[in-house]
Amino acid sequence: MLCARDLLVTMELVGCTYEGDMVDNIQHGTGRMTFANGNVYEGGFHKGQFHGEGVLHLAKGGRYEGSWNYGKEVSGNMVFDDELKYEETDWKYVCLLVAMP
């Protein structure tokens, strides 16, 4: 049975290109996947899923550096184009920016 989540994933992968390691015609190892919207993932794959360390470069700017476990994000940080990293626990830089005239 095909569920809505499967359909969404299938639609998102239309128009993608992949360069990298493959096993049995499936992305496996290290590679680079370019999505139709211009986003690019570079890093580890396991049986076609993001796995291990990788970087998701966003077409509109910034990147997400993270770790994945069989297609699910485990941990990571958003890094903006100015190299500022999003930190969940440290928002001091926002307070400084707001306080500046």
Q: Locate 20 and state its tokens.
A: 């990298």
Q: Say which residue, 2 or 101, is predicted with more confidence.
A: 101
Sheet with 72-79, edge to edge strand ranges: 17-23, 26-34, 40-46, 49-57, 63-69, 72-79
**pTM, full prediction:** 0.72
pLDDT of residue 25: 87
- Other C-beta atoms within 10 Å of 92: how many? 8
Q: Is CATH 2.20.110 what the domain over 4-99 is classified as, yes or no?
A: yes
> Could you read off the pLDDT of 42-85 as tens digits, one per residue?
999 999 999 999 999 999 999 999 999 999 989 988 898 888 77
Higher pLDDT, 10 or 36: 36
Statement: residue 34 has pLDDT above 80: yes
Contacts of 72 (CB under 8 A, 6+ apart): none
